[in-house]
Amino acid sequence: MKKIMAIAIAYLLVLGGLGAAAVTVEQGARYGSPSGAAAPRTAAVSFPPVTSALDEDGYLRLDCQGADYLLNPGKPLLPRVVQSFELPFGVRN
């Protein structure tokens, strides 16, 4: 039994070391943008003001102009704003 336990522990140590040795990180590598890529663009997103009111049931209601509501059974009703962004062809990350 002791022999099997010793072999199992040695096996785990060897396999754990192989996982660490298999992952290498290049020094100075830039991930997410190919060399010569343009500077990142920023976008400003604005939301309409959120107002709160107390319902007859004693619950707090959040209202947001132009928002839909997300309703899941057993969870609170939450305002939801969906915006779509069209990205140019070839964009990464």
Mean pLDDT over each residue of the chain, to the nearest integer: 74
Indicate whether 11 pLDDT > 80. no
Q: Where are the domains of the chain?
A: 48-83
Mean pLDDT of 64-84: 82
Structure tokens at 56: 């007859």
H or E, element range at 8:
helix 2-22
In this predicted structure, what is the pLDDT of residue 27?
Answer: 62
Mean pLDDT of 25-40: 58
Mean pLDDT of 47-52: 81
pTM: 0.36
Indicate whether 90 pLDDT > 80. yes
User: Do strands 68-70 and 78-80 pair parallel, antiparallel, or not at all (unpaired)?
Assistant: antiparallel
Residue pair 40/29 in contact (Cβ under 8 Å)? The answer is: no
